[in-house]
Amino acid sequence: MNLIIKDKNAYVKEDMMSDKLSFPNDFVNRIICGDSLKVMKQIPSASIDIVVTSPPYNLKNSTGNGMKDPRGGKWKNAALCKGYLDHEDCMPHDEYVKWQRDCLTEMFRIIPENGAVFYNHKWRVQDGLLQDRHDIVYDFPVRQIIIWKRNGGINFNAGYFLPTYEVIYLIVKKNFKLAPKANAFGDVWEFGQELNNPHPAPFPVNLISRIISSTNAKIVLDPFMGSGTTAIAAKINNRQYVGIEISKAYVQLAEKRISEILL
Ligand SMILES: C[S@@+](CC[C@H](N)C(=O)[O-])C[C@H]1O[C@@H](n2cnc3c(N)ncnc32)[C@H](O)[C@@H]1O
């Protein structure tokens, strides 16, 4: 069984990680159901080649009204308006920034001197001005920003053009190098959203497969694993994965998707 269920509400419980996990046996090719920060603290330094992840964006903490009222707002067709099953996505902004910086600090600790973190996020307009997530990443070594161009968008607003892209921060330790010839992909990537996935905010498999296949990584961590896309892309590319996800239901969805891929 590739599943360790610790506690579906692990984020708020102090005692959930009292059982010590041991690396690599409890981690490799498994998805651990628990709080990413607490679980990452049990991963030894320099033991994971790359991290590929998309955290919750804190979308429900918004100066716009749409995400708060799915009955009439501009988000009414977006699956995310119902939120995640076990995470409210509505922290005070300062608390959210601190949480994400703490998570990035752990991700950075567990990669080696040739490792990298691919950190996907979304910029948005708040109070009429761009919120570009600089406050999360400003003192991490960002080497590049990859633009993930999606199909269309939903944030129609008379004050600005329709946003259609997300960003992937490539945060590196100094010896990180791409796989041979991968640099030719350029830094603007066009991939349509994943449509056949009950998770509210899944990555498209091809996007993550592009990232993983562009590196020499043998082992890939996603500390916000959701429906298991990073694990699927790792398997497709013959790499190992480590997953962490707070929601037991999403862990089960991920396990089902992983078991169904045909290689
Ligand atoms: C943007 S989604 C990731 C989706 C994923 N990339 C996929 O393809 O399905 C963020 C995920 O983080 C999870 N999450 C929220 N808080 C968490 C925490 N403290 N620890 C671990 N996972 C958490 C949510 O349940 C959600 O599934």
What would the pLDDT profile of 11-61 be if each residue is shown by its tens digit? 333 334 446 899 999 999 999 999 999 999 999 999 999 999 999 999 888
* Burial class, 244, CB count within 10 angstroms (exposed 0-12 / middle 13-18 / buried 19+): buried
Q: Is the dihedral of CA 257, 221, 18, 199 positive or negative?
A: negative
Which one of 87, 99, 209, 210 would you pick to mutate in the ligand 1 pocket, going by the greatest count of ligand atoms within 8 A of its CB? Answer: 87
Whole-number Å distance between alpha carbons of 201 and 122: 12
- DSSP-derived letter for residue 96 is H
184 CA → ligand 1 middle, Å: 30
* Average pLDDT in the chain: 88
Q: Give, in order, the Cα–Cα distances in Å from 92 to each of 60, 88, 190, 249.
A: 10, 11, 32, 26
Q: What is the per-residue pLDDT across 3-23, written as a single tens digit (0 to 9) for each? A: 444 443 333 333 344 468 999
> Nearest-CA neighbor of 210 among 180, 192, 231, 233?
233
* Residues 135 and 196 sit within 8 Å (Cβ to Cβ): no
pTM recorded for the entire structure: 0.90
* Residues 39 and 251 sit within 8 Å (Cβ to Cβ): no
Extract the tokens encoding 258: 């992983």
**Looking at residue 67, what is its pLDDT?**
54
Homologous superfamily (CATH) of 8-12+21-38+47-57+101-248 is Vaccinia Virus protein VP39 (3.40.50.150)
227 CA → ligand 1 middle, Å: 8
